[in-house]
Structures are given as C-alpha cells and as structure tokens.
Structure 1
Amino acid sequence: MIVASDLEVRVGARTLVNAPGDHLRVQPGDRIGLVGRNGAGKTTTMRILSGENEPYGGKVTQSGPVGYLPQDSREGRIDVTARDRVLSARGLDRIQASMDRQQEIMETTLDDSKRDAAVRKYSRLEERYHTLGGYEAASEAARICDSLGLPARVLDQQLETLSGGQRRRVELAQILFAATEGTGKSATTLLLDEPTNHLDSDSIAWLKDFLKKHEGGLVVISHDVDLLAEVCNKVWFLDAVRSEVDVYNMGWSKYIDARATDEARRRRERANAEKKASALKKQAAKLGAKATKAAAAKQMLARAEKMIDSTDEIRRADKVAHIKFPEPAPCGKTPMMAEGLTKVYGSLEVFTGVDLAIDKGSRVVVLGFNGAGKTTLLKLLAGVERTDGEGGLVYGHGLKIGYFAQEHDTIDPDKTVWENTIAACPDAGEQDLRGLLGAFMFSGDQLQQPAGTLSGGEKTRLALAGLVSSRANVLLLDEPTNNLDPVSREQVLDALRTYTGAVVLVTHDAGAVKALDPERVIVLPDGTEDLWSEDYMEIVELA
C-alpha cells in the first residue's frame, strides 16, 4: 500500500502536482492508470511514489514491497547473466553462486576436512534454496521470461551483450518474478512506467493478463490505450493546467466519459461566471465615475475577480510540439555505404558481413527479433560504435548524419535542456534556438532544467529538436515514437512522411513504418536486403 499525503511535486520553479489531503492511495486490488500529457509530471510522480525521489512537499508512506520499473531501466551491473538478474529478485542468484562454489570445492579438493566442510555448507545452502522454492522458482522465472520474449539462450547471456529492448524485458521479468513469490498471489505494489515499450504483441497480451490477475496494487503509465482499457479500474489524471490530480474511481471508458463531462461543466461554469463578472465590471465602471460611489465600485470589481477565481480554469487545448525534420543539406548520389559490418560480444556473434548502400532520399527499415542487432547496426552507422573485423563505412560527398538514439544516449543528463541544445546545434544563434525549443514545448525555467530529470516523452522531444536544426541528409532513427503521447506521435509520423532526405528506421511501431513508406528492408541478423513488401509488416508487429 502507498499513501501520498499533501503531495507537492516540483521541477525547478515549476509546480507539476499539488494534491492536498491523502486521497492519492494505492491499495491491494487498485489498478491505476496515471495519465496526462507529456511533461505533466507522470514519471516524476512515479519516481516519488517508488521512494526513488523525495517530494517537494508532503510525504509518501509505503507498507509492503514495491516493484518499480522506471522508464529508462539501466541496471548498474552488466557483468551478470540475464537469468541471475531475474533470480536476484528473491536472492536466489547469490545462493546458487554459493552452492556452485561449494560444489567446486567438493569436486577438486584433496583435503578431507575441506571437503566435509563444503558438504555441510552445500547442504545448508540447498535447504535454504529449497525453502525459497529455488528449483521451482527457476522454472517459474524462465516461464515469465519466455512470456516476455526472452528465450532460454538469452538468459545465459550477460546483460552487457543484450540489446536495450532485451535488457528492459529482463528488468520487467525481474519485477514480475519478485511480485509472484511463487504463489501467483502478491502484496507487492507494482509501479510500471511504459511497461509495453519493446514488447511484441504476444508479450503485451500476456502482460495484460498478468496485471489483471495481480492482487497487489498497480500504478501504470502507458500510452497504450488498449492496456489502460483492459487493465485499469481507476485513473489518476495529472492536469498540467491546474497542477492538480483528478481521481476517477472507475475504469478507462467510463473515465473518458466522466472527464468529458467535467470539462463541459467547467466550461459552463466559467462562461456563467465571466458573464456575471462582466456585468459587475460594467456597473462598477458607471459607479466609479461618481466620487461618492467609488467604494461601491471597488467592491463590485473585487466581487467580479473573486467570481472568476472561484471557478476552475477551463482546460486549454494541450500544446503540441511542431515537429518537422530538417531540409536536408545537398549531397551526392550515395552519401553513405556500409561494407561488411560485423559485431561480436565475446563468443556471441550478433551479426556479420552486413552491406548497405544508403542512397540520397532512400527509405530503409531495419527488422529482426529483439537482440538481432538492430540498435547496434544504427550505432555502427552513426559512428557511436566500431565494427569488428575488416568492414567499415564509406562516406559520400556532403554526408550529414542525424542520429536519434533509443535510450536517449545523445542527451547529457547532467546538462540542462539549453546546454544540450547548444551542443547539438553549435552553429545556430540564440534566438533561433529559443524559437526551436519553443516549437518543441520548452520555454522559460524549463531551459535550465537538467535533462536527466525530464520524462521519457520530453527527452524524445529534446532529442528530436536537436535533429531539426542539423540539416542532416541521412537520419538514423531508433524507436523515435517511444514514450510519446498520441498527438506528439502523430507529429513525428507527419515529419517522417514529408522529410525528403534518407532515413534508416528501427521501430516496433507499425504506424511509423507506414508513414515512412519504405523502399527497402534489412533483416537481421542475416543482413538480408530486400525490396519492401507488406508481407514484412507482420515482422514489425511481432518483433
């Protein structure tokens, strides 16, 4: 259970949430959708509920275990296997490692006393392992991983060899494994920020079923409306205009109707108040012309202002980022060629011998299952990583690359929004940059906000802003629609449709592929190149 009392959330001088009282409660059986436009404070609020950050005002009280999946999950240790990371949820990885050490001693030592000591330790460890349901738990963990699209071969790999999508699935598997505790029942409160990112359709369907059956509390941030509709029985709406939280104790479809009713009521009340206030102000103006009536006129003006202030502000239409990819700089017929690109992690060969010619204005989509090397290929093309072996890149005349990284690697989290923009657009003037950031909904105090405190959607907008002034003629886009609300996503899709430069796109978003209207496809890990056909759309939706 989680209770937020007199919660106040701020970023810099901006108040994102002001929720007096203790009506923000997460209790067993609650499945709450935390919604609001990009930048309303959803991710920041979720961090505070998890205990990762402190609120500006008020307090958050937790009772019972909490499983938190942040939007950007990056585990500190990457030298452990995916299986050990999942099993660590119940401490089983440490017990298993200790058992393996004692097993090795028993098999190799020539000292009888050491062997006997190892046998005793092994017995105690095995008893503890069995008490925690170790053998059954390992099988259960494998089932959860498989349901999230992580096959057995991936579980034996170290985290550092996995793609961003695979690592996020591992983190989600670890949290869900901890929540089940081997019984299918749980008192764990799950806090999940965009849990369907990088999941295929089958995994999303399994996750929906899991969350519907979860007996503990749940708060979920998601732009997947189908997930919210199927899973949630309550909605918390973060109103960015009023910096308040509206609590709806109902499912998604009823919430949509109730919110529309609330907005209509606010408009009526506001219109009535403004009409009455206008009449009072006119009467006050007439009285004010007479010295003897000045006090009465002043009182009428005060009443008019109070009448307006006592009504809820009408919810203005949400701002929309004006996203348009740059007019590409002139370039030759083939601005970039890749020859024999290869990537190997230890004994694991991700892909080998990939060739690709990126012609002027060409549109290419990269497909493959999670872990096939899609993100790695874009990093090689962007020059962020080097190819293994003798292959490499050949740059043509006038090449200008614009790279959008899936994990927002192009953004320095310790620098401000303004500093990141200057770094991305060093040749642009200050006024041009301010105008650019304004078009992407960054202004005022937000310019001095550390980029690491931005939500996923805000980071996406900031990274896209850096591309716009680059005049890139080859865009390398890795999941550019992740974390965006529906309106912002449509802006990105429109930008893809109208951009005249070359694009190499990695995405799970079928809508993004349709907007790109690709000419060619590269299928990894084989590196097969083919002309695009609608038959490949199934791979997009299942990848």
Structure 2
Amino acid sequence: MLVARDLEIRAGARLLLEHASFQIAAGDKIGLVGRNGAGKTTMTKILAGEGQPAAGTVTRGGPIGYLPQDPRTGDLDILAKNRILAARGLDAVVARLRDAELKMGDDSEAVRDQAMAKYARAEAELAAAGGYAAESEAARIASNLGLPERVLHQPLRTLSGGQRRRVELARILFAGAETLLLDEPTNHLDADSIGWLRSYLQGYSGGLIVISHDVGLLSATVNKVFHLDANRAELDIYSMDWKRYLLQRETDEKRRRRERLNAERKADQLLTQADKMRAKATKATAAQNMARRAERLLAGIEGERAADRVAKIRFPDPAPSGKTPLTAADLSKSYGSLEVFTGVDLAIDRGSQVVVLGLNGAGKTTLLRILAGIEEPDTGEVRPGHGLRLGYYAQEHETLDTSRTVLANMKSAAPDLNETDVRKVLGSFLFSGDDVEKPAAVLSGGEKTRLALAMLVVSSANVLLLDEPTNNLDPASRAEVLDAIRRYAGAVVLVTHDEGAVEALDPDRVLLLPDGVEDLWNPDYADLISLA
C-alpha cells in the first residue's frame, strides 16, 4: 500500500503537480502518462522515497521496487547474478556456501569440520529465504529478460548498458516488493522479453505504477490510468483500462470544449447587457452585478487544455566533407577474457546510412563509442577523413555534463553561437525561461534526450552516430525524431531496436555484430531489429 496526500511537486520554480491525493493498493495497476517533461519521472522518484515533495506526504506501507530510467548499479565489479540475488540478501549466503564447499575438501580435519558447520548455517539461511528454488527463480527471471547464464557470471562492468538495465529489472522483479514503480521498463528489451514482461505484470498481485510509451504494455496490463497534465499541473485519475481511458479522455475533452463555449457565450451576453446598463446611473449597480456574474461563470469553467507542445527537431545541414569521412579497420574489443567483437572493418561514405544489428551484449554501443573516440579499441584504428564532423547521441546520455546546466551544455556544443541563438534552439526543444538554468542531473529521461538532440542540431555534423535515439520519447516526439532522421542529408550509423527508426533511415548497408559481417540492406534483416 502506498498513499499520497495533497502532493505538490516542483522542478525548481516550475509547478508540476499540486493538490494530488491517491493510493496504490494491491491489484492496482496504474499507467502514469503525460508528455515528456510533465513530471512523471520526478513523481515516481518521490513515491519511491528518492526525492521530497514541495508539499504533502507519501506513506509507504511495504517494500517498494523502483526501476528508474537510468539505473545506477553501484559496484560494477559485482557479478550480475549476485546483483540480482542481493535483492533478497541471498548473494552473501550463496557466497558463504561456495566458500564452505571449497574448504570442506581441505586436508585439515579441523578446517573441514569448521567448514561443514559454516555450510550448515548458510544452508539454513538459504532455506529460510526460499532455498535453492529462489536461485532458480532468479535465473528464470533473468533468462526471460534476455540474460543467459554466461552473462550472469560476468561482472557488471563488462555488460552493455542494455544488459545492466535488464539486470536491474530482474533484481527488482525478483525482490518480490509489494509495490512496483517501473519507469520505462521495456527500454532495451527485445520482443520476446517484452511479451514475457507483459504476462508477468498481468499476473502480479501487488500494486504497480508503470511509465511507458509502449502502448501494447499499457493495453495489456493497466486497470487504472493517471494522466499528469503539464498544462494544468493536475493529476487526472481514470479507474479504467487503457482502451476505455482513451475513449473517456476524448469524451472529457469534447465536454470541456462545449462547457467553455456555452460559458463564454453566456458571459458575453451578460457583459454586453452590463455595458448597456452602465450608461444609466440608476442601473450602475445592476451592471456591476452582471459583470461579476460573467466573471464567476468563466472562472467556474475549466479552460480548454492547451495542446501539448512537441520539440521541432531538424538535424543540421552537414558540413562539407571528403568522399569517405570516417573509416575503421580491424577493430576488436575485449573486457578481460570476454571478447566482445573482433576484426570489424567499416567505411562510412558521405551521406551513407548504416544500421548496426546484433543481440544485446554484441558490442553495438561499444562500437559507436570507439567510432566517437570515447573508448579505445584493443586492436585496429579509427581514421577520420577530410572534413569529418562527428555528432554522437549516446543512449545513456553520457555526452551530457550532468553537473552543468541545460544552457551550459548547449553552449559547450555550440561555442560559436551567441546566447540568444542558443536560447532560441533550446526553446524549439521546449527548454525556456528558468528551465535552461536547471542542472542536467535533474532532467527526466525524455528531457535528457531532447537536450542531447538539441546539442546535435547545432553541431554541423556530417556523420551522426545514433544509439537508441527514440528511447524515452512520447509518440509525438518520437515521430519528430524519425522525421529528422528521414530528412538528414549526412551519413548515419544507427543502433536501434525501433523498427520505425530503421524504416525512417532507409539504410543502404547493415553491419552485424559480433561477427562484423557487412552486407547490403534487404528486408530480410528486418526480423533482427527487435532482437537488437
């Protein structure tokens, strides 16, 4: 059970939500929706206890399982398996069991006896926590989320961003919390894993709030919808499933428009009559009363909701370059004994479009980081061609300096632009007024995406490296990004699991990892996109 009373949420001086009261009980499966930047992520952080409201209270009646958009796993040297088991405190128990097993084979009888006693105590603890069945349950959840056994035995630092996020989701589901708060849980999941997650959440008996742009997930799982209206700073609560919510919200919009028109018409009539009566001194009081009635009539009717604004995204006109602005030869990368890929060759011609496909962990993000000069390959080299201007969009937003403001990040991307022009670009990406002074660290995933894209727009790049550019975006913003990809005249190297992004790119070539096989694009490769 989770109860919020008279909640008020702010981002700096901007009011996101006020006077919101609700509860999340067992069996409540709530879809939290609203445009990017409305405050959904901020709200879930506060509900999870990782932030404080400006006013009001949140009462938590049991354990909370919280998946933020950008999970931070802490110790990157821990094995993925142990990170999941730690959700129930089983990682330490299993480690003691394994240690005792090793010492039970010692030559010393005293060491063996001591190890057997430790083993017995650890086994009792394991049994109290669910026994070996709990280990199997953790492995089963991980497998269904696309984490095979070999990945579970790797340190987190050797995993891709997508794999680490899957580990965090597996950990949270394994924890068995009474209430789940999931912020974009389908990011980095393939089609099979998304299907499994839908089934899992359908059968989940606790309370749930999920933020997602995956309409299929919302349709299959939620029985309530909370709409966070950014224009009114209010939370509209619909106690119904997703499809009925869509119909009801449209009905509500039409009703509000009718009520507003009727109120405006009646108010106009009253004000017109009041103006006529003011000409006569004997009727001045009556005229004032009519004017007040008109004001009350308008004040009592909710204004028509302003249309949600959408960032206008156009990638830059590419700077002139040579015929082949970027090449790479014999690239390989390993983390310890784990070989990610080897022998990758790539030539990016002016205006070419390449999509990189491969399973999670195949090295797609690592390859883009190497091409961008952020990581060094173990072998091979990346060669810039004549006039190369690189633009890199990172799925984990690591190109943003989270300690600096929105405005400072933009200035660093466009040092030749004056502040007025920088602010104009930011305004087109929905950052205006005090928003530009916010540190990037407090932005939601969708806002970080918009800022990173805005920095690309002013870069004059002629080669774009795009790593999951449509993640965290609402449908309208996603459509803008897809249109920008479609119109861009420069070269693009794209990593994505979004079929719409590949369709917009209309690639001429495909690079398959980890083998490094390059081929001309053909529709047969489309089946691999959702597995990326």
TM-score grouping bracket, smaller chain normalisation: over 0.9
Q: Which range moves more in the overlay, 376-385 or 98-107?
A: 98-107
Aligned residue in 2 for 1:322: 312
Deviations 1:65-105 (A, max 9, x none): 11111111121111011111111111110111122333344
Residue by residue, what CA displacement relative to the aligned partner does 1:281-336 show, whole Å, maximum 9, x if unpaired? 22333334455554444443333222212111211221111000000001100011
- Tell me the TM-score normalised to structure 2 length: 0.98
In the alignment, which of 124, 131, 147 is matched to residue 121 of structure 2? 124
Task: Indicate the SS of the match to 2:530.
Answer: helix
Question: Are 2:177 and 1:190 equivalent residues in the alignment?
Answer: no
Greater CA deviation, 365-374 or 91-100?
91-100
Structure 1 counterpart of 2:472, which letter?
A: N
Question: Helix, strand or coil for the counterpart of 1:280?
Answer: helix
Q: Secondary structure at the match of 1:250?
A: coil
Give the distance between the partners of 2:230 and 2:270, measured in 1 at CA. 31
Structure 1: unaligned runs, 5 residues or longer: 180-186
Alignment partner of 1:64 is 2:62: yes
* 1:95-494 to 2 correspondences below 5 Å: 95-108=93-106, 110=108, 112-179=109-176, 188-290=178-280, 293-389=283-379, 391-494=380-483
Per-residue deviation, residues 262-288 of structure 1 (Å, max 9, x unmatched):
111110111111111222222333334
Q: 1:279 to 1:338 in 2, by over 3 A?
A: same
- How many residue pairs were aligned? 532
Whole-Å Cα distance in 1 between the matches of residues 8 and 289 of structure 2?
34
Q: Contact 2:372 / 2:392 at 8 angstroms: preserved in 1?
A: yes
Matches of 1:532 and 1:350, distance apart in 2 = 23
Deviations 1:331-374 (A, max 9, x none): 10001111111111011110112110010000000000000000
Aligned equivalent of 1:529? 518
Alpha-carbon distance between aligned partners in 1 of 2:370 and 2:446, rounded to the nearest angstrom: 25
2:317 is paired with a residue of what secondary structure? coil
Whole-Å Cα distance in 1 between the matches of residues 250 and 407 of structure 2? 37
What one-letter code is carried by the residue in structure 2 that aligns with 1:165? G
The one-letter code sitting in structure 1 at the alignment partner of 2:370 is L
Paired residue secondary structure (2:327): strand
Q: Which amino acid aligns with 2:206?
A: G
Q: What secondary structure is seen at the aligned counterpart in 2 of 1:246?
A: strand
| Offset from partner CA, 1:239-266 (integer Å, 9 cap, x none) | 1111101111110111111111111111
Please tell me whether residue 25 in structure 1 is matched to residue 23 in structure 2.
yes
User: Does the 8 A contact of 1:40 with 1:239 survive in 2?
Assistant: yes
Alpha-carbon distance in structure 2 between the residues aligned to 1:413 and 1:311: 42
Q: Distance in 1 between matches of 2:400 and 2:273?
A: 57
C-alpha displacement of 1:204:
0.6
Where 1:327 maps in the other structure, the secondary structure is: coil
Deviation of the 1:113 alpha carbon: 4.0
Q: Which amino acid aligns with 1:79?
A: D
Structure-2 residue corresponding to 1:89? 87
Shift of 1:140: 1.3
Determine if contact 1:208/1:231 at 8 Å carries over to the other structure. Answer: yes
Q: Secondary structure of 2:105's partner?
A: helix
Structure 1 residue 121 displacement after superposition: 1.9
Counterpart of 1:50, as a letter, is A
Out of 32, 35, 38, which is 2:33 matched to?
35
Distance 2:238 2:352 in 1: 48
Q: Does 1:4 align with 2:4?
A: yes
The match for 2:45 is 47
1:405 partner letter:
A
The code of the aligned residue for 1:156 comes to: H
Whether the 8 Å CA contact 1:36–1:42 is kept in 2: the answer is yes
Q: Distance in 2 between matches of 1:471 and 1:86?
A: 43
Give the stretch that moved more between structures: 135-144 or 160-169: 135-144
2-structure distance, mates of 1:305, 1:414: 47
Q: Which secondary structure state, in structure 2, belongs to the residue aligned with residue 467 of structure 1?
A: helix
Instruction: Give the partner amino acid of 2:9.
Output: V
Displacement, 1:445?
Answer: 1.5
Query: C-alpha separation between the residues in 1 aligned to 2:274 and 2:434?
Result: 38
- Using the aligned pairs only, state the percent identity: 61
SS of alignment partner, residue 342 of structure 2 = strand
1:84-137 residue CA offsets vs partner (Å, 9 max, x unmatched): 111111111011112233334443474x44443332122111111122223111
Tell me, yes or no, if the aligned pair for 2:3 and 2:23 is still in contact at 8 Å.
yes
Q: Distance in 2 between matches of 1:369 and 1:88?
A: 26
1:491-530 maps to which residues of 2 (within 5 A)?
Answer: 491-530=480-519
| Contact 1:3 1:61 (C-alpha < 8 Å) held by counterparts | yes
User: CA distance change for structure 1 residues 293 and 433 in 2, over 3 Å: closer, same or farther?
Assistant: farther
Counterpart of 1:189, as a letter, is: T
CA distance, structure 1, for counterparts of residue 360 and residue 284 of structure 2: 75
2-side partners of 1:467 and 1:279: how far apart?
53
Distance in 1 (CA, whole Å) between partners of 2:99 and 2:531 is 41
Residues 1:287 and 1:467: Cα distance change in structure 2 (over 3 Å): same
Q: 1:513-535 CA distances to partner (integer Å, 9 max, x unpaired)?
A: 00000000100000111000101
Say if 2:352 and 2:490, in contact at 8 Å, map to a contact too. yes
Distance 1:144 1:536 in 2: 28
The answer for unaligned runs of 5 or more in structure 2 is: none
Q: How far 1:2 sits from its partner (Å)?
A: 0.5
SS of the aligned residue for 1:107 comes to coil
Q: Which residue of 1 aligns with 2:527?
A: 538
Equivalent pair of 2:85/2:91 in contact (CA under 8 Å):
yes
Deviates more, 1:397-406 or 1:414-423: 414-423
Q: Are the equivalent residues in 1 in contact too, given 2:358–2:531 (CA < 8 A)?
A: no
CA distances 1:406-459 after superposition (whole Å, capped 9, x unpaired): 001111222221111111211111111111011111111111122111111111
Cα distance in 2 between the residues matched to 1:529 and 1:2: 52
Amino acid at match of 2:105: E
Tell me the amino acid that sits aligned with residue 144 of structure 2. Answer: S
Contact 1:242 1:313 in 2 (8 A): no
Structure 1, 123-132 or 375-384: larger mean CA deviation: 123-132
- 1:223: Cα distance to partner? 0.3
Which deviates more, 293-302 or 470-479? 293-302
